[in-house]
């Protein structure tokens, strides 16, 4: 299963992409994470539903210190590559 997240709020310049990458690696997820031009962080992760839920829970706990919002879209397309990679601007 593939899940797309768009995390809004103060998530750039605080190490959030690296946090997501580390959490995803520990969960065995694949995909990517990157900053968007409008100041958000975008994540595309592939894995089992329980792994994706754990990633969203972990990210949500981190965001609880600076809440703004997280939206997601789920797909069954599993074409994304190996491991969750941090894409640079």
Which active-site residues does the annotation give? 17, 35
Q: What are phi and psi of 24, to 5 degrees?
A: -65, -40
| 88 vs 40: CA distance, rounded Å | 13
| 65 vs 37: CA distance, rounded Å | 23
């Amino acid at each position: 299963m593939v899940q797309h997240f768009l995390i809004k709020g103060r998530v750039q310049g605080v190490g959030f992409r690296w946090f997501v990458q580390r959490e995803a690696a520990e969960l065995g997820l694949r995909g990517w994470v990157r900053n968007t031009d409008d100041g958000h962080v975008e994540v595309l992760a592939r894995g089992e539903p329980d792994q994706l839920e754990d990633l969203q829970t972990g990210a949500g706990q981190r965001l609880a210190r600076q809440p703004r919002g997280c939206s997601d879209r789920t797909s069954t397309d599993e074409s994304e590559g190996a491991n969750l990679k941090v894409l640079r601007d």
